[in-house]
Amino acid sequence: MGAHDAAEIPEALGSFLAALSLGLGFNATVVVIGTTLLGLAAGAVGAFMLLRKRALMSDALSHATLPGVALAFLLGVALETDPRALPLLLAGATATSVLGVLAVQGITRASRIREDAAIGIVLSVFFGFGVVLLSYIQALPQGGQAGLKTFILGQTAAMRVPDAELIGAVALCALLVCALLYHPFRLVCFDADYGRVVGLPVTLVDLALMGLIVVVTVIGLKAVGLIMVVALVIVPAAAARFWTERMARFVPLSALFGGVAGWIGAARSASLPRLPAGAVIVLVAGVVFVLSFLFAPARGVLADAWRRLRLRLVTVRDHFLRAAFEQLEAAGTGAAGSFALADIAEDRGWSARHAGWIARWMAARGFAAHLPDGRMHLTPTGREAAQRVTRAHRLWEQLLLVQGAGRIGQAHRSADLVEHVLSPAMVAALEAELAARGATAQPMPPAPERSRQP
Amino acid sequence: MTGLDLETFLRIDLPGGLSAMLACLACGVLGNFLVLRKQSLMGDALSHAVLPGLVAGFLVSGSRSTGPMMLGAIAAALLATVLIQAARRLARLESGAAMGVVFSILFALGLVMLEQSHARDVDLDVDCVLSGQLETILWLAASGWGSLADPAALAELPRQLVALAGMNLAVALFVAIFWRALKLTSFDPDFATALGFRAHRFELVLMLLIAAACVAAFEAVGSILVIAMLICPAATARLLTDRYGVQMALAAGISAATG
């Protein structure tokens, strides 16, 4: 951040905010709107691509556009028209990227090379060819490849109003098609075979999806460049995936993330021309991704860790309570009696230190309390909870034994895993099941005779 | 062959040709595991992900010499590898999406760093990764066949060539030592885990090795060729055989011949 540190920042911030509110002059506004629409379309199409497990198809596609752009430029030179006219270049890009898609599908269908390898082959061959063509064009007298290199990295600042209008209009059409074909797309993403059975033209639907991704990639070329248009397709969808398990929310959310990235990124780079727009757009999307990755409540990492921790705590609590209950039962002192922590630790295979932590935690939660003589006893809450979990454990054991589980050891191991998640409703169902099999569910079934666990 | 021709061959053609062959060999061998693991696009992902490392290497060292930039590239490649594995396991993304997310974000980061730094003004040669610098790998100390046995001349061997040779040695050792483990984890990681094998950790080591080999090869032959050489020999061999050992040998042969 060298030269523009002190004086420019407030001004830059001002114009950034102005661009966010679309007050940065007509040209910038059109560019920002065009890029936002592009982001929306890319996010929506990317959502389907992610579910179809074809996220990197856009990678092959975007690299395959390069020879098309170069060939179109050469054609323009040969026909003596403006070789840098965007429609001409985009038409060339479309042609070779369609060829690229067909090549990937041809390779995977005709041989046993898998899709990822096919994508890699097509990508490197097409892009290599494109680079060769570019270096040939550079040697031409018509001013070299300066305009073409922006297709690799993208340059929103170089986008003219007609370009932005073209991009925005096409993106809008792509969004419309997404909305219209939402149901067939959804079916193909989740269960293409089922779709085939119910008479959906799966190949055709897939082709439509591929068409959309070609369209989005091609119009994204000018704005964000061929490498980062991949990000615009994948990143918003991957970010949205953390937030929801429902398709009807996932697709709009992905589109929204893409749109936000396009909007903020384009506005930011409109106010600071030194920042490459494509990169800023991708970084905004990246921030959205990282935030979703960490904090999304549905599948985010922190939420996940919290759920796992809670399950572990519940497991430990249940094991402590049941061990205590069984100690008291064996001692015959009744539920109000006292027990030694060391016995529980031995029963569960806990180290003394570990058991000490658990005992302190159980005391803090009000399930058990330390007695002056160093032993422990269960509080009324703890007694109730211990009774519940022990009963669930034994009912499950009993059911498995009635059903013919081979050894009591197996039934015990299974019950050990299951007792923590048996809700009252499931316990009731267990009782009914046992009754149906001629066994009575007692208030507290006796512990089955069992040898010590290995 | 006249003395002058021999000298030119040793100085210019041999190091370049040998580097290309070694680069292709390492990629061809490692590529087998990527293709079998359905992660063929790792090379592509890495070639983009090294950009921030290149720029950082340049910024830290302040010079355009390739040494620090390549160190940065290796660091970035290793980071990308770890991030991709993390995205696959923690975020439960399929591997294609995980690669796409990681490499595109890293690439964008690299671009912004490039534009924001002074690097822009000195025209940092990012293309050195794109197409490689095979023609700059020269062995100027060579004067005849005798130089091949002369320690002083051998010490002047191009750094890239030495790095690639070391890389190949490391790859060969790794494959020889962990052959069974590689087979097992490539075909059925879940089964390997069930056998008590730490498939995930092992995979990470493999991926880190691939990242290092890729960066060494980028410098010599360029990223496009690396992407191709990671996939094409293995895919070709896959078409020719169903046996793992044969597949490896074929892929190595094909790639060395191409190089």
pLDDT the model gives residue A182: 92
Which tokens hold the place of A265?
């990124």
Mean pLDDT of A196-214: 88
Res A246 pLDDT > 80:
yes
pLDDT the model gives residue B150: 60
Q: Do A128 and B230 touch (CB under 8 A)?
A: no
Res B1 pLDDT > 50:
no
Summarised one tens digit per residue, pLDDT across range A222-239 is 778 877 888 899 999 999
Which one-letter DSSP state was computed for residue B143? -
Q: Do B107 and A282 touch (CB under 8 A)?
A: yes
pLDDT the model gives residue A277: 77
Which residues of chain A make contact with B239, given a CB cutoff of 8 A?
A: 111-113
The mean of the pLDDT values for chain A is 82
Q: How confident is the model at residue A259 (pLDDT cuts 50, 70, 90)?
A: very high
pLDDT the model gives residue B130: 54
| Residue-wise DSSP of A280-292 | HHHHHHHHHHHHH
Which residues of chain B make contact with A120, given a CB cutoff of 8 A?
A: 40-41, 43-44, 227-228, 230-231
Res A412 pLDDT > 60:
yes
Instruction: Name the most confidently modeled range: A50-64, A92-106, A153-167, B86-100.
Output: A92-106
Res A41 pLDDT > 90:
yes
Instruction: Name the most confidently modeled range: B90-104, B121-135, B142-156.
Output: B90-104
Which one-letter DSSP state was computed for residue B219? H
Which residues of chain A make contact with B221, given a CB cutoff of 8 A?
A: none
pLDDT the model gives residue B118: 58
Residue with the bigger pLDDT between A400 and A352: it is A352
Interface probe for B, chosen from A1, A226, A234 (most Cβ of B below 10 Å), is: A234
Which residues of chain B make contact with A111, given a CB cutoff of 8 A?
A: 239
> Which of B91, B99, B231 comes nearest A56 by C-beta?
B99
Instruction: Provide the β-strand partners of residue B89.
Output: none
Q: Do A228 and B108 touch (CB under 8 A)?
A: yes
Total CB pairs under 8 A between chain A and B: 145
Closest-CA residue of A relative to B240 is: A112
Q: Do A119 and B225 touch (CB under 8 A)?
A: no
pLDDT the model gives residue A292: 92
Backbone angles phi, psi at A376, to 5 degrees: -125, 160
Res A119 pLDDT > 60:
yes
Q: Do A112 and B230 touch (CB under 8 A)?
A: no
Q: Do B228 and A128 touch (CB under 8 A)?
A: yes
Cα separation, B135 vs B220, whole angstroms: 9
Q: Give the full edge-to-edge strand order of the sheet including A338-339.
A: A338-339, A376-378, A368-370
Res A61 pLDDT > 70:
yes
pLDDT the model gives residue B147: 58
pLDDT the model gives residue A291: 93
Q: How far is CA A245 from CA A248, A253, A300, A367, B127, in A?
A: 9, 12, 12, 37, 42
Residue with the bigger pLDDT between A212 and B31: it is A212
Res A148 pLDDT > 80:
no
pLDDT the model gives residue B153: 60
Q: How confident is the model at residue A256 (pLDDT cuts 50, 70, 90)?
A: very high
Residues 6+ apart with CB under 8 A from A6: none
Q: Do B130 and A234 touch (CB under 8 A)?
A: no
Give alpha helix (H) positions in A181-246: 182-197, 202-241
Res A287 pLDDT > 90:
yes
To the nearest whole Å, the CA of A259 is away from the closest chain B CA by 17
Which residues of chain A make contact with B218, given a CB cutoff of 8 A?
A: none
Residue with the bigger pLDDT between B195 and B51: it is B51
pLDDT the model gives residue A396: 82
Res A321 pLDDT > 50:
yes
> Which of A117, A275, A280 comes nearest B35 by C-beta?
A117
Q: What percentage of chain A carries pLDDT values higher than 70? A: 86
Q: Is some CB atom of chain A closer than 8 A to the CB atom of B235?
A: yes
Closest-CA residue of A relative to B42 is: A120
Q: Do A131 and B48 touch (CB under 8 A)?
A: no
Q: How confident is the model at residue A43 (pLDDT cuts 50, 70, 90)?
A: very high
Residue with the bigger pLDDT between A340 and B125: it is A340
To the nearest whole Å, the CA of B125 is away from the closest chain A CA by 14
Q: Which of A48, A52, A94 is nearest to A71 (CA)?
A: A94
Lowest mean pLDDT across A50-64, A73-87, B240-254: B240-254
pLDDT the model gives residue B137: 61
Cα separation, A258 vs A106, whole angstroms: 31
Mean pLDDT of B189-207: 73
Summarised one tens digit per residue, pLDDT across range B214-234 is 877 777 777 777 777 777 777
Give alpha helix (H) positions in chain B: 3-8, 14-36, 42-49, 51-61, 66-89, 95-116, 127-130, 151-155, 159-177, 179-187, 189-194, 199-221, 223-240, 244-258
Residues 6+ apart with CB under 8 A from B184: B191, B192, B195, B197
Q: Do A2 and B99 touch (CB under 8 A)?
A: no
The answer to whether residues B230 and B34 touch, using CB atoms and an 8 Å cutoff, is: yes
Mean pLDDT of A4-25: 61
Sorted by where each starts, the structural domains of chain A and their CATH numbers stand as 21-298 (1.10.3470.10), 306-436 (1.10.10.10)
A47-76 residues touching B, CB cutoff 8 A: 50, 53-56, 58-59
Closest-CA residue of B relative to A114 is: B38
Pairing mode, strands A338-339 and A368-370: unpaired
pLDDT the model gives residue A154: 66
pLDDT the model gives residue A173: 93
Q: Do B104 and A121 touch (CB under 8 A)?
A: no
Which residues of chain A make contact with B112, given a CB cutoff of 8 A?
A: 275-276, 279-280, 283
pLDDT the model gives residue A238: 92
Which residues of chain A make contact with B231, given a CB cutoff of 8 A?
A: 117, 120-121, 124
Summarised one tens digit per residue, pLDDT across range B103-133 is 889 988 888 887 777 555 445 455 555 555 5
Cα separation, B248 vs B225, whole angstroms: 19
One-letter amino acid identity for A414? S
Interface probe for B, chosen from A62, A111, A119, A123 (most Cβ of B below 10 Å), is: A123
Res A11 pLDDT > 80:
no
Instruction: Name the most confidently modeled range: A256-260, A311-315, B188-192.
Output: A256-260
Residue with the bigger pLDDT between A45 and A268: it is A45
Cα separation, B251 vs B228, whole angstroms: 13
Q: What percentage of chain A carries pLDDT values higher than 90? A: 16
To the nearest whole Å, the CA of A231 is away from the closest chain B CA by 5
Mean pLDDT of A272-279: 74
Q: Do B231 and A120 touch (CB under 8 A)?
A: yes
To the nearest whole Å, the CA of B143 is away from the closest chain A CA by 35
The mean of the pLDDT values for chain B is 72
Q: Do A59 and B44 touch (CB under 8 A)?
A: yes
Q: Is some CB atom of chain A closer than 8 A to the CB atom of B62?
A: no
Interface probe for B, chosen from A59, A126, A288 (most Cβ of B below 10 Å), is: A59
Q: Do B228 and A275 touch (CB under 8 A)?
A: no
Q: How confident is the model at residue A7 (pLDDT cuts 50, 70, 90)?
A: very low
Sorted by where each starts, the structural domains of chain B and their CATH numbers stand as 3-258 (1.10.3470.10)
The answer to whether residues A251 and A233 touch, using CB atoms and an 8 Å cutoff, is: no
Residue with the bigger pLDDT between B196 and A170: it is A170
CA-angle at A119, arms to A115 and A125, nearest 5° = 145
Mean pLDDT of A123-129: 87
Q: Do B41 and A230 touch (CB under 8 A)?
A: no
Closest-CA residue of A relative to B117 is: A1
Cα separation, A428 vs A435, whole angstroms: 11
Instruction: Name the most confidently modeled range: A68-82, A104-118, B96-110.
Output: B96-110
